[in-house]
Amino acid sequence: MKVCDIIEKLGLTVFSGEQGLDREITGGYTSDLLSDVMGNSEEGQVWITLQTHKNVMAVASLKDVAAIIIVKGFQPEEGTINQSNDEDIPLLGTDMEAFEVSGRLYELLNN
């Protein structure tokens, strides 16, 4: 499954990083602790978080995640958007809480 597929199926907003929409998704990781994501996420996962600042992109890029979903309707900061475009890692958004969007993504990826 690709990033563009989950956007449609989960009704996600695309903030930036459109060039990366054909990235392949291998799984998901839900966490708001940057060191946890740094230590435990894997390449190709979709990272679900409420963090909106630029360091999110640094971690995402170093770990080669497929995309980031920002939950609860939070808006990414401008620096985050710019780096997402530079790195071609899509920055997505949803009004859902982390629990719900994680569950729905899990279901999509495992069916």
Shortest reach from residue 4's CB to other proteins, in Å: 25
Report how far residue 46's alpha carbon sits from residue 41's, in angstroms, rounded to the nearest whole number: 9
Nearer to other proteins, 4 or 50 (CB): 50
Question: Minimum Å distance from CB 58 to other proteins?
Answer: 3
Nearer to other proteins, 7 or 98 (CB): 98
CA geometry: angle 28, 30, 34, nearest 5 deg = 115
CB of 17 to other proteins, least distance (A): 16
**Residue 33 or 103 with smaller CB distance to other proteins:** 33
Contact positions vs other proteins (CB under 8 A): 32-36, 38-39, 43, 49, 51, 53-56, 58-59, 61-63, 79
Residues whose CB is less than 8 angstroms from the CB of residue 33 and which lie 6 or more positions away in sequence, other chains included = none
Query: In this structure, which long-range contacts are made by residues 99-102, counting pairs with CB atoms below 8 Å and at least 24 apart in sequence?
Result: 101/10, 101/48, 101/69, 101/71, 102/28, 102/30, 102/48
